[in-house]
């Protein structure tokens, strides 16, 4: 038994030794594999940390800041140029503000000048109206004197001199020119001509009504209306709209009855109608003809006034009367021997104007 036991013990020992001898190399290879795995894992973690650091925006900002903090001369130059641009833009803005202020100041000065000009213009018009009233009064007085007194010469005047000798009186009488009153014009004897406005000689910006006695303008633009026959005297009443327009309204005679087509065919911005006859621009009180282009004559007419136009073909004159008050001779040298046939005519530009023929 003892021998068997010892044999078994030896057998077991040899078996354990053989097992140990076999397991040791396997353990060592396992340890080597484990260490290799650990090394690989560590390497993987290191690489992942590096990648995570590379993708980290904070790390990128740190890199950019480190680049910017580097003293690069090109970067410094760009920074300097940028600062100069900012400063220049600010200067330009300041200049623009100054220019706006100057422009506003000039506009205010211009407005003030326009107000002063309007004021002076109104004063001149008032003075002109006052002078026209005085002229009309003196002319009327002269006409009254002409009708009362005959022609006077120095032979019909008895002069009485107090405190002077006869020689002095004779010298004075010889030195003085004869006193002669101008005979009164006979324009009153010229009869009114009965006529109507011609429907076939009316521009497109007006229409004729009231038994062809009135014309009414419907639109702004150059428009001409001519009478149906020649005339030597006619009177019209003027009705003006309530506005500030002072465009042309010319009334008078024309020797070219077909010139009413001119503004229709040519559409002129400036219409030289003064070459077609003899007119008075009632808006300004000026004369318009071949020899007159807005020549001052009288004060402007108002709405409701009556304008009479008279052609004296014997003396070759055209005169105008306002409300039956003679304003004097306007044109001379218009004689009938030139074979002129004069028609009543109206040239206008504004709308809502009414001109009505007044029969005697």
Q: Give mean pLDDT, residues 272-277.
A: 90
Q: Which pLDDT value is given to residue 152?
A: 44
Strands 293-296, 343-348: pairing is unpaired
Is the pLDDT confidence value at 142 over 70?
A: yes
Q: Give mean pLDDT, residues 258-276.
A: 86
Q: Which pLDDT value is given to residue 5?
A: 39
* 134 vs 42, more confident: 134
pLDDT (tens digit per residue) in 205-236: 999 999 999 999 999 999 999 999 999 999 99
What CA–CA distance (Å, rounded) separates 169 from 153? 17
Q: Which residue has the tokens 């109608």?
A: 273
Q: Coil, strand, or helix at residue 256?
A: coil
What CA–CA distance (Å, rounded) separates 210 from 227? 15
What CA–CA distance (Å, rounded) separates 356 from 360? 13
Q: Give mean pLDDT, residues 119-141.
A: 84
The candidate with the shortest Cα–Cα distance to 299, out of 327, 330, 324, 325, is 327
Is the pLDDT confidence value at 183 over 50?
A: no
Q: Give mean pLDDT, residues 20-30.
A: 47
Is the pLDDT confidence value at 343 over 80?
A: yes
Q: Which pLDDT value is given to residue 227?
A: 97
255: burial class by Cβ within 10 Å (0-12, 13-18, 19+)?
middle
Q: Which pLDDT value is given to residue 33?
A: 47
Q: Which pLDDT value is given to residue 174?
A: 46
What CA–CA distance (Å, rounded) separates 185 from 246? 33
The candidate with the shortest Cα–Cα distance to 342, out of 184, 190, 181, 203, is 190
Q: Which pLDDT value is given to residue 186?
A: 56
The candidate with the shortest Cα–Cα distance to 299, out of 142, 137, 127, is 127
Q: Give mean pLDDT, residues 253-263.
A: 92
Q: Which pLDDT value is given to residue 148?
A: 65
What CA–CA distance (Å, rounded) separates 257 from 186? 28
334: burial class by Cβ within 10 Å (0-12, 13-18, 19+)?
buried
* 330 vs 152, more confident: 330
* 196 vs 178, more confident: 196
Q: Give mean pLDDT, residues 328-335.
A: 91
Helices (H) and strands (E) in the chain, counts: 5, 14
Helix (H) or strand (E) holding 199: strand 197-202
Domain segments of the chain as ranges: 53-146, 149-184, 191-357
Give the chain's length: 360
With 0.75 as the threshold, say if the pTM is over it.
Answer: no
Q: Which pLDDT value is given to residue 64?
A: 55
73: burial class by Cβ within 10 Å (0-12, 13-18, 19+)?
exposed
Q: Which pLDDT value is given to residue 236?
A: 98
| Most confident range, picked from 24-38, 112-126, 346-360 | 346-360
- Reported confidence tier of residue 50, pLDDT bands at 50, 70, 90: very low
Is the pLDDT confidence value at 98 over 80?
A: yes
- Reported confidence tier of residue 265, pLDDT bands at 50, 70, 90: confident
Helix (H) or strand (E) holding 122: helix 73-148
* 227 vs 55, more confident: 227
Supply the CATH classification number for the domain 191-357. Answer: 2.60.120.920
Q: Mean pLDDT score of the chain, rounded to an integer?
A: 77
Cα-based torsion angle of the residue sequence 21, 25, 26, 29 in order, rounded to the nearest 10 degrees = 170
Q: Give mean pLDDT, residues 172-186.
A: 45
Q: Which pLDDT value is given to residue 131?
A: 87
Helix (H) or strand (E) holding 37: helix 2-55
Q: Coil, strand, or helix at residue 277?
A: strand
* 225 vs 75, more confident: 225
Q: Which pLDDT value is given to residue 182?
A: 39
Q: Which pLDDT value is given to residue 46?
A: 52
């Amino acid at each position: 038994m003892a021998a068997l036991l010892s044999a078994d013990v030896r057998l077991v020992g040899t078996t354990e030794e053989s097992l140990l001898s076999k397991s040791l190399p396997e353990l060592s290879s396992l340890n080597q594999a484990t260490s290799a795995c650990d090394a690989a894992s560590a390497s993987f973690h290191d690489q992942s940390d590096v990648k995570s650091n590379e993708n980290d925006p904070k790390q990128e900002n740190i890199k950019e800041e480190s680049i910017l903090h580097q003293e690069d001369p090109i970067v410094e130059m760009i920074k300097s140029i940028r600062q100069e641009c900012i400063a220049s833009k600010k200067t330009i803005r300041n200049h623009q503000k100054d220019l706006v202020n100057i422009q506003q100041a000039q506009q205010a000065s211009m407005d003030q000048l326009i107000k002063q000009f309007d004021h002076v213009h109104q004063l001149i018009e008032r003075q002109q109206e006052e002078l026209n009233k005085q002229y009309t009064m003196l002319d009327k007085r002269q006409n009254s004197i002409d009708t009362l007194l005959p022609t006077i010469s120095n032979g019909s005047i008895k002069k009485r001199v107090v405190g002077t000798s006869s020689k002095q009186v004779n010298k004075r009488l010889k030195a003085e020119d004869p006193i002669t009153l101008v005979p009164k014009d006979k324009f009153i004897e010229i009869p009114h001509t009965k006529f109507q406005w011609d429907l076939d000689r009316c521009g497109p910006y007006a229409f004729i009504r009231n038994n062809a006695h009135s014309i009414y303008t419907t639109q702004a633009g150059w428009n001409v209306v001519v009478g149906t026959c020649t005339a030597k005297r006619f009177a019209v009443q003027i009705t003006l709209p309530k506005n500030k327009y002072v465009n042309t309204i010319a009334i008078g005679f024309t020797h070219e009855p077909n010139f009413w087509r001119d503004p229709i065919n040519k559409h002129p911005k400036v219409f030289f109608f003064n070459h077609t006859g003899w007119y008075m621009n009632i808006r300004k009180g000026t004369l318009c003809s071949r020899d007159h282009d807005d020549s001052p004559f009288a004060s402007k007419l108002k709405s409701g006034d009556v304008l009479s136009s008279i052609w004296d073909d014997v003396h070759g004159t055209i005169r105008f009367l306002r409300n039956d008050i003679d304003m004097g001779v306007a044109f001379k040298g218009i004689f009938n021997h030139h074979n002129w046939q004069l028609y009543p005519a109206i040239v206008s530009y504004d709308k809502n104007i009414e001109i009505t023929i007044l029969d005697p």
